[in-house]
Structure 1
Amino acid sequence: MTALLFSCKSTQPTANKASDKTVEITFLHVNDVYEISPLEGGKVGGMARVATLRKELLQKNPNTLTVLAGDFLNPALISTFKYEGKSIKGRQMVEAMNAVGFDWVGLGNHEFDLDEADLQKRIDESKFNWLASNALQNKKGVLEPFSKTVDGVKVPFPKTAILSFKNAQGKSVKMGMFSIVLPSNKKDFVYYGDFFESAKNTYDILKNECDFVVGITHINKADDAKLAEMLPDVKLLMGGHDHDNMIETVKGVVIAKADANAKTAYVHTISYNTETKTATIKSDLRKINDSIPQDSAVATVVKKWDDIMDVAIVKAGMDKNDVVAEVTEPLDGRESSMRNGHTNLGDLIAQSMTAAASKPVDCSVFNSGSVRIDDQISGKITQLDIMRILPFGGKIVEVAMKGRLLERILETGLKNKGNGGFLQWDKITHDDAKNEWFINGKLLDVNQDYYVSIPKFMMEGKETNFGYLTYQNPDVIKVTESDEKDINDIRNDVRKVLIAYMKKM
Structure 2
Amino acid sequence: PFVKEGKGALPKTYVMNVKDADGTTAKIGLIAVTLPFNKADYVSYTDPLQTAKEAYNGLKDSVDAVVAITHQSMEADELLAREVPGLAVIIGGHEHDQRFAKVGDIYITKAMANAKTAYVVNLQINKKKKTKKVTTKLEKLDQDVALDSATNVVVEKWNKIADDNYSSLGFDARKVMINRGEPLEGREVEVRTRQTNLTKLVVASIKDAAPQADVVVMNGGSIRVDDVVQLPISQYDILRTLPFGGAISEADMKGSLVIRMLETGRKNIGIGGFLHYNENLAYTNDKWILNGQPIDPAKTYHVALPEFLMTGKEANMDFLNPSNVEVVKVYPAAAKGQPLSDIRLAVVRYLE
TM-score when normalising by structure 1: 0.62
Q: What are the superposed Cα offsets for residues 257-283 of structure 1, whole Å, 9 maximum, x if unpaired?
A: 222333322210022344554332211
Higher mean Cα deviation, 340-349 or 411-420?
Answer: 411-420
Matches within 5 A, 1:308-319: 308-319=161-172
8 Å CA contact 2:38–2:314 kept in 1: the answer is: no
2:29 equivalent in structure 1: 176
8 Å CA contact 2:334–2:340 kept in 1: the answer is: no
CA 407–148 in structure 1, closer or farther in 2 if over 3 Å, else same:
same
1:407 equivalent in structure 2: 259
CA 391–204 in structure 1, closer or farther in 2 if over 3 Å, else same:
closer
Report the Cα offset of residue 405 of structure 1. Answer: 0.7
1:491 corresponds to which of 327, 336, 340:
340
State the one-letter code of the partner of 1:450. Answer: Y
1:219 corresponds to which of 72, 93, 105:
72
1:456 corresponds to which of 307, 332, 337:
307
State the one-letter code of the partner of 2:318. Answer: G
2:223 equivalent in structure 1: 371
Q: What are the superposed Cα offsets for residues 218-269 of structure 1, whole Å, 9 maximum, x if unpaired?
A: 2222211111121223221111222232111123321112223333222100
1:467 equivalent in structure 2: 318
Please state if 1:239 is matched with 2:92: yes
Which SS does the other structure have where 1:424 is aligned?
Answer: strand
Q: What are the superposed Cα offsets for residues 58-109 of structure 1, whole Å, 9 maximum, x if unpaired?
A: xxxxxxxxxxxxxxxxxxxxxxxxxxxxxxxxxxxxxxxxxxxxxxxxxxxx
Matches within 5 A, 1:127-142: 136-137=1-2
2:235 corresponds to which of 376, 383, 401:
383
Q: CA RMSD in A?
A: 2.9
* In structure 2, C-alpha distance between the alignment counterparts of 1:198 and 1:483, rounded to whole Å: 42
Please state if 1:286 is matched with 2:135: no
Report the Cα offset of residue 284 of structure 1. Answer: 1.4
* In structure 2, C-alpha distance between the alignment counterparts of 1:383 and 1:176, rounded to whole Å: 42
8 Å CA contact 1:402–1:476 kept in 2: the answer is: yes
State the one-letter code of the partner of 1:295. Answer: D
Which SS does the other structure have where 1:217 is aligned?
Answer: strand
8 Å CA contact 1:327–1:378 kept in 2: the answer is: no
8 Å CA contact 1:328–1:378 kept in 2: the answer is: no
Q: Give the number of aligned pairs.
A: 351
* In structure 2, C-alpha distance between the alignment counterparts of 1:387 and 1:476, rounded to whole Å: 31
* In structure 1, C-alpha distance between the alignment counterparts of 2:289 and 2:344, rounded to whole Å: 28
CA 469–171 in structure 1, closer or farther in 2 if over 3 Å, else same:
same
1:300 equivalent in structure 2: 153
1:324 equivalent in structure 2: 177
CA 189–456 in structure 1, closer or farther in 2 if over 3 Å, else same:
closer
8 Å CA contact 1:365–1:426 kept in 2: the answer is: yes
Which SS does the other structure have where 1:342 is aligned?
Answer: coil
Report the Cα offset of residue 426 of structure 1. Answer: 1.8
Please state if 1:420 is matched with 2:269: no
Report the Cα offset of residue 171 of structure 1. Answer: 5.0
Q: Percent identity?
A: 39
8 Å CA contact 2:238–2:344 kept in 1: the answer is: yes
CA 236–482 in structure 1, closer or farther in 2 if over 3 Å, else same:
closer
Please state if 1:261 is matched with 2:114: yes
Q: What are the superposed Cα offsets for residues 463-482 of structure 1, whole Å, 9 maximum, x if unpaired?
A: 34433322232111233457
CA 319–393 in structure 1, closer or farther in 2 if over 3 Å, else same:
same
Q: What are the superposed Cα offsets for residues 443-500 of structure 1, whole Å, 9 maximum, x if unpaired?
A: 4443343332212332233434433322232111233457527x6x533332232223
Which SS does the other structure have where 1:412 is aligned?
Answer: helix
1:429 equivalent in structure 2: 282
8 Å CA contact 1:363–1:440 kept in 2: the answer is: no
State the one-letter code of the partner of 2:183. Answer: P
CA 167–333 in structure 1, closer or farther in 2 if over 3 Å, else same:
same
8 Å CA contact 1:326–1:378 kept in 2: the answer is: no
8 Å CA contact 1:403–1:444 kept in 2: the answer is: yes
* In structure 2, C-alpha distance between the alignment counterparts of 1:341 and 1:330, rounded to whole Å: 17
8 Å CA contact 2:218–2:277 kept in 1: the answer is: yes
**Which stretches in structure 1 are left out of the alignment for 5+ residues?**
1-135, 138-145
1:158 equivalent in structure 2: 11
1:206 equivalent in structure 2: 59
* In structure 2, C-alpha distance between the alignment counterparts of 1:147 and 1:406, rounded to whole Å: 42
TM-score when normalising by structure 2: 0.86
Report the Cα offset of residue 350 of structure 1. Answer: 0.8
Query: Which protein has greater RCO, CA pairs closer than 8 Å, 6+ apart?
Result: 1
8 Å CA contact 1:373–1:390 kept in 2: the answer is: yes
2:48 equivalent in structure 1: 195
CA 169–329 in structure 1, closer or farther in 2 if over 3 Å, else same:
same
**Which stretches in structure 2 are left out of the alignment for 5+ residues?**
none
